Amino acid sequence: MKRLKIEALAKSVPEMRVSNDDLAEFIETSDEWISQRTGIKNRRVSLFDNTSDLCAKAAKELLSKTSTEASEIDLIIVATMTPDSATPSTAAIVQGKIGAKNAVAFDISVACSGFVYALVTAASMLDSKHAKKALVIGGEVLSKSLDWSDRTTCVLFGDGAAGALINCDFDGDSALLGYSLKSFGEDSDKLSCQKTLPLAKFPPESNKKTATPFEMDGRAVYNFTTKIVPTVIKAAVEDSGLGLDQIDRFVLHQANARIIKVIAKKLHQPLEKFPENISEYGNTSGASIPLLLSELSEQKELVRGETMLLCGFGGGLCAGACVIRY
């Protein structure tokens, strides 16, 4: 168990809201086709704002909500698969944008599992006294990495950022109770984004640099998720010393409404324990879990002392789950 308190949650989503019908105007698809297979009705698309811009807006909101000065932040971790650049890290750019001059800042690249990995990493650093206050943010601008002519992928994803301000200096019982993180690199080819290639000839024939758009073997990822994720969830719950029935809420990565239903069934847990917002935002990868948490907080759904499980899964292929006493 690691002492950990989520002091506040906040989100930043682009203003542009794109419906399934909007997509049907320029690709061969329909609202019925998308919604029946995924549960998605809308998604947000960022114009001009990059990943660091959305993350910085969420960070500023977190500071405002908690009356925290940027100089009080010791650690910033951004979970993203769509960084502004390979270097500097998106977290470092966010640090500069908000003026958190005392913070260590770095990114974690674990795609849709990223926020869970980042939260566990931050908890370990706070528990070891290397930091007291941290910003843990998941942010994506997936729209810049999609092939908008590929209806098998472009209809699934959306842009956004959300995060938590956490600390270990508090009175109360809030804690990270247990976790399980798993990677399956043998299946790394099943989902990729912004893949670059080494030189095939020197001197190179062209100085043009290219990176591949988002690519996914949807059937393989679905099979992986429905088979592996329940086992990772069970491992995290076992690590916490609790039973599945003692978990008040399962906050899963919002990849596909059908996947969430399958996981709930395999865990023998009522679907009412599995909140969703995929219909409005689509799959926002590393942002999806904190985005859902932020909305639950806004709706006054979260209760201090409740036990929740967070679980992300996807690119890597990877999966991660953690149990938190809120």
pLDDT tens per residue, range 199-215: 888 988 877 777 888 88
Tell which of 147, 167, 187 closes a domain.
Answer: 167
Say if residue 126 is in the same domain as residue 13.
yes
Number of domains in the chain: 2
What is the model's pLDDT at position 104? 97
Tell which of 111, 138, 167 closes a domain.
Answer: 167
What is the model's pLDDT at position 199? 86
Number of other residues whose CB lies within 10 A of the CB of residue 201: 7
Say if residue 146 is in the same domain as residue 234.
no
Say if residue 199 is in the same domain as residue 69.
no
| Distance between first and last Cα of the chain | 13
Q: What CATH number should be reported for the domain holding residue 244?
A: 3.40.47.10
Say if residue 39 is in the same domain as residue 115.
yes
Determine, yes or no, domain membership for 89: yes
What is the model's pLDDT at position 266? 97
In angstroms, the Cα distances linking 265 to 194, 217, 261, 283, 285 are 35, 24, 6, 21, 23
Q: Which two tokens stand for residue 51?
A: 């990943």
The radius of gyration of the chain from alpha carbons, rounded to an integer in Å, stands at 19
Active site residue: 112, 193, 311, 318, which one?
112
Active site residue: 167, 253, 311, 322, which one?
253
Give SS3 for 155. Answer: coil
Is 253 assigned a catalytic role? yes
Say if residue 197 is in the same domain as residue 262.
yes
Say if residue 14 is in the same domain as residue 162.
yes
Determine, yes or no, domain membership for 282: no
Q: What is the pLDDT along the chain (326 residues), one digit of tens a residue?
A: 888 999 999 999 999 999 999 999 999 999 999 999 999 999 999 999 999 999 999 999 999 999 999 999 999 999 999 999 999 999 999 999 999 999 999 999 999 999 999 999 999 999 888 889 999 999 999 999 999 999 999 999 999 999 999 998 777 889 999 999 999 999 999 999 888 888 888 988 877 777 888 888 989 999 999 999 999 999 999 999 999 999 999 999 999 999 999 999 999 999 999 999 999 999 999 999 999 999 999 999 999 999 999 999 999 999 999 999 99
Sole residue written with tokens 């499980």? 309
What is the model's pLDDT at position 117? 98
pTM: 0.96
Say if residue 226 is in the same domain as residue 306.
yes
What is the model's pLDDT at position 218? 87
Determine, yes or no, domain membership for 199: yes
Say if residue 54 is in the same domain as residue 158.
yes
What is the model's pLDDT at position 131? 85
What is the spatial distance between Cα 59 and Cα 176, in angstroms, rounded to a whole number? 22
Tell which of 133, 167, 201 closes a domain.
Answer: 167
Say if residue 217 is in the same domain as residue 301.
yes
What is the model's pLDDT at position 127? 87
What is the spatial distance between Cα 246 and Cα 266, in angstroms, rounded to a whole number? 16
Task: Tell me the HSE value of 58 on the side-chain side, using a 13 A CA sphere.
Answer: 36
Active site residue: 20, 283, 311, 318, which one?
283
Determine, yes or no, domain membership for 256: yes
What is the model's pLDDT at position 79? 98
267: which residues sit within 8 A by CB, 6+ positions away?
A: 230, 233, 234, 244, 250
Is 283 assigned a catalytic role? yes
Question: Is residue 297 within 8 Å of residue 9, measured between CB atoms?
Answer: yes
Determine, yes or no, domain membership for 287: no
Owning domain of residue 234: 175-276+296-325
Say if residue 87 is in the same domain as residue 203.
no
Number of other residues whose CB lies within 10 A of the CB of residue 111: 25
What is the model's pLDDT at position 204? 86
